[in-house]
């Protein structure tokens, strides 16, 4: 079938992912190739000291994203989307969305970006003997309990953003195992919530006298390939406000952006990994065995089919360097020169490779928000240099590129140097890799590992969740997810690989030592409310 025939016949598959700055929709054909896209730009809001997106903004964003996809399909193929073969919903992991008896949200959505949960995360980590990060849903819930928040007693359900959207489209209170593993730890043997931790939590909060038990208010866990319900009439109306889309198509389990990143980079097998680098960054390494001990830099989550994954999550990645690049855009506009942002990024990023491997003594901290891995509860973007540093354009952009993956390196050094984790392939995807070769080379130097990038890297998580939706309906041979991706979707394609050079690795190692020493500057800026 042509793309037009696929859409007209209702054979196209839709993936939608809610990222931090963009909601993206990707329509794929039966061969898993993208045939249309739509998007909606948005930003989180800091309200009463907490990062949030309002419910109205969530639904407007989803509807506008779908409308943009529909408009692009009409323009490109002169056809209307009436039926879909399957749908997948993905979103930023973690966070806190709590609902009461009337199914209305009890307090504004609290995103992964919030770092107000330190007391809860520390107490739960000790109770479970397991690293419970600040952004995990259970940390948010327990912090609300510690704070004495009135709404907690009224909770009947709490979930992630992906789980919420899926619920409203299908009526099903379910969650993919990967996303669920970022709410509360999942047992890799049972692929369900860790029963012992659930029991300990219930005992911990029992004196509060709530009507609920933790297991009663968590989503049901599903695995990749499971049918997670169908699009209801009400769901179709909420998704497509034009009224053309019909109900009835199946949905795959909703997943977090970490899981869709693994799928989009064919990194769900043991000894494979991926790095997603956009507004935030995270690396995912699929383990052969559990780590020797908990480490606050390492989160333990799962693939969409339940395999154990070591995750290093960094709250900050490209937001600050994007802000710097916009300054160069403004300067170009002042000169009256037409601006092509791809060209601006390309020129600046490629010129950065001419800089010193250690950035000439110029340091950058890209902390728009707090960074738990380095112990910062708030962010202060900083560029720091000594009087005798080699301050030029190449080093300035290079240090800002290094900053995008510096915290990622700190966490992965624990995995590779202390835990001796082995990995055969790491694949990068996300905005950092849009300029060919540059972000890839920087990451290779940081991790001292070959880094692959596929042509599909720019498709990201929306494509990944579309693939998971396709896995529900297009797997007649009953392949497991790893084999389905290997044999059906990627068919042996491993992308273009860049190896680290000794000079770049040595330079990044020198840079990271300066970076660690300079963290005291960042800490002082936060402590003094500078």
Give tens-digit pLDDT for 329-360.
999 999 999 999 999 999 999 999 999 999 99
pLDDT band per the 50, 70, 90 thresholds, residue 456 = low
| Beta-strand pair 299-302/496-498 | unpaired
Q: What is the pLDDT of residue 377?
A: 84
pLDDT for 142: 98
Contact status, residue 467 vs residue 86, Cβ threshold 8 Å: no
Express as a percent the part of the chain with pLDDT over 70. 99
Confirm if 113 and 51 have CB atoms less than 8 A apart. yes
Q: How confident is the model at residue 429 (pLDDT cuts 50, 70, 90)?
A: confident
287 contacts: CB under 8 Å, gap ≥ 6: 270, 307, 308, 309, 310, 421
Q: Indicate if the pLDDT at residue 458 is higher than 70.
A: no
Tokens of 158: 């709490």
Q: Measured between alpha carbons, how far is 338 from 248 in angstroms, rounded to an integer?
A: 48
In 3-state terms, what secondary structure has residue 186?
strand
pLDDT value at residue 298: 92
Q: Which residue has the tokens 């695995």?
A: 223
pLDDT band at 319 (very low <50, low <70, confident <90, very high): very high
**Residue 167: φ, ψ to 5°:** -55, -45
Query: Backbone dihedral region of 479: left (phi > 0), alpha (psi from -120 to 50 degrees) or beta?
Result: beta
Burial of 388 (0-12, 13-18, 19+ CB in 10 A): exposed
Position 382 scores a pLDDT of 97
* Residue 73, pLDDT above cutoff 90: yes
Residue 273's beta-bridge partner residues? 285, 426
User: How far apart (Å, rounded) are the C-alpha atoms in residues 29 and 5?
Assistant: 10
Mean pLDDT, range 516-525, rounded to an integer: 96
Q: Determine what percent of the chain is predicted with pLDDT higher than 90.
A: 89
Residue the block writes with tokens 């990645």 = 317
pTM score:
0.85
Model confidence at 280, pLDDT cuts 50, 70, 90, reads confident
Q: For the segment 363-405, what is each residue's pLDDT rounded down to a tens digit?
A: 999 999 889 889 898 999 999 999 999 999 999 999 999 999 9
The C-alpha atoms of residue 341 and residue 343 are separated, in whole angstroms, by 5
The alpha carbon of 456 is separated from its chain's Cα centroid by a whole number of angstroms, namely 17
Query: Is the separation of the CB atoms in 425 and 272 below 8 Å?
Result: yes
Q: What is the pLDDT of residue 457?
A: 54
CB 281 within 8 Å of CB 261: no
Nearest to 111 by CA among 369, 336, 381, 323: 369
pLDDT for 373: 87
**Which whole number is the average pLDDT over 161-190?**
97
Work out whether the CA dihedral 410, 412, 414, 418 comes out positive or negative: negative
H helix or E strand, kind and range, residue 6: helix 3-8
Q: How confident is the model at residue 495 (pLDDT cuts 50, 70, 90)?
A: confident
Query: If we measure between CA atoms, which residue out of 19, 11, 18 comes closest to residue 35?
Result: 11
Q: Token pair 């908990």 is at which residue?
A: 294
Sheet arrangement for strand 86-91: 34-41, 22-28, 13-18, 86-91, 255-256
Q: How far, in Å, CA of 146 to CA of 127, rounded?
A: 15
Tokens of 319: 């937001």
Q: What is the pLDDT of residues 79-108, one digit of tens each?
A: 999 999 999 999 999 999 999 999 999 999
Q: What is the chain's mean pLDDT, rounded?
A: 95
Report, as an integer, the average pLDDT of 515-524.
96
pLDDT for the residue numbered 54 = 97
Average pLDDT over residues 408-426: 94
DSSP H or E segment with residue 437: none
Q: In Å, what is the CA distance from 18 to each residue of 63, 133, 134, 161?
A: 12, 21, 21, 8
279 has pLDDT over 90: no
Q: What is the 3-state secondary structure (H, E, C) of 115-143?
A: CCCHHHHHHHHHHHCCCCCCCCHHHHHHH
């Amino acid at each position: 079938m042509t793309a037009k025939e696929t859409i007209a016949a209702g054979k196209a598959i839709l993936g939608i992912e809610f990222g931090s700055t963009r909601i993206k929709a990707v329509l794929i054909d039966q061969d898993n190739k993208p045939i249309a896209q739509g998007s909606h730009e948005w930003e989180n809001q800091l309200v009463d000291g907490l990062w949030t997106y309002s419910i109205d903004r969530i639904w407007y964003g989803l509807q506008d994203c779908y409308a943009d996809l529909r408009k692009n399909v009409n323009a490109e193929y002169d056809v209307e989307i009436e039926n879909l073969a399957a749908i997948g919903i993905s979103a930023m992991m973690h966070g806190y969305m709590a609902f009461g008896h009337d199914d209305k949200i009890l307090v504004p959505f609290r995103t992964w970006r919030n770092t107000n949960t330190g007391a809860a995360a520390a107490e739960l980590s000790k109770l479970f003997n397991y690293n419970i990060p600040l952004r995990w849903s259970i940390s948010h819930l327990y912090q609300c309990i510690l704070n004495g928040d009135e709404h907690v007693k009224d909770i009947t359900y709490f979930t992630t953003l992906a789980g919420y959207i899926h619920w409203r489209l299908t009526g099903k209170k379910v969650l993919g195992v990967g996303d669920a593993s970022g709410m509360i730890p999942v047992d890799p043997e049972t692929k369900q919530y860790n029963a012992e931790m659930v029991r300990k939590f219930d005992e911990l909060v029992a004196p509060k006298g709530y009507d609920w038990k933790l297991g009663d208010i968590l989503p049901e866990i599903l695995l990749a390939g499971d049918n997670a319900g169908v699009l209801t009439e009400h769901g179709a109306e909420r998704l497509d406000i034009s009224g053309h889309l019909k109900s009835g198509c199946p949905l795959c389990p909703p997943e977090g952006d970490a899981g869709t990143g693994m799928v989009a980079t064919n990194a769900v097998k043991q000894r494979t990994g991926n790095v997603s680098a956009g507004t935030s960054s995270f690396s995912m390494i699929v383990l052969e065995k559990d780590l020797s001990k908990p480490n606050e830099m390492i989160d333990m989550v799962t693939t969409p089919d339940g395999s154990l994954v070591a995750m290093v999550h960094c709250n900050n990645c490209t937001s600050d360097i994007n802000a710097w690049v916009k300054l160069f855009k403004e300067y170009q506009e002042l000169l009256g020169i037409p601006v092509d942002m791809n060209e601006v990024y390309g020129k600046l990023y490629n010129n950065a490779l001419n800089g010193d491997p250690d950035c000439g003594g110029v340091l950058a901290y890209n902390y728009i928000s707090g960074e738990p891995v380095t112990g910062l509860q708030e962010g202060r973007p900083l560029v720091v240099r000594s009087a005798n540093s080699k301050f030029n354009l190449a080093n300035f952009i290079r240090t800002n590129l290094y900053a995008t993956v510096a915290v990622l390196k700190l966490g992965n050094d624990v995995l590779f140097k202390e835990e001796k984790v082995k990995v055969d392939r790491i694949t990068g995807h996300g905005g950092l890799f849009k300029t060919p070769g540059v972000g890839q080379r920087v990451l290779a130097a940081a991790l001292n590992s070959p880094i692959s990038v596929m042509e599909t890297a720019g498709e990201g998580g929306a494509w990944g969740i579309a693939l998971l939706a396709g896995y529900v309906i297009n797997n007649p041979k009953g392949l497991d997810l790893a084999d389905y991706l290997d044999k059906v979707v990627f068919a042996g394609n491993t992308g273009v690989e860049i190896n680290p050079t000794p000079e770049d690795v040595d330079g990044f190692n020198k840079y990271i030592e300066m970076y660690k020493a300079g963290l005291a500057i960042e800490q002082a800026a936060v402590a003094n409310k500078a």
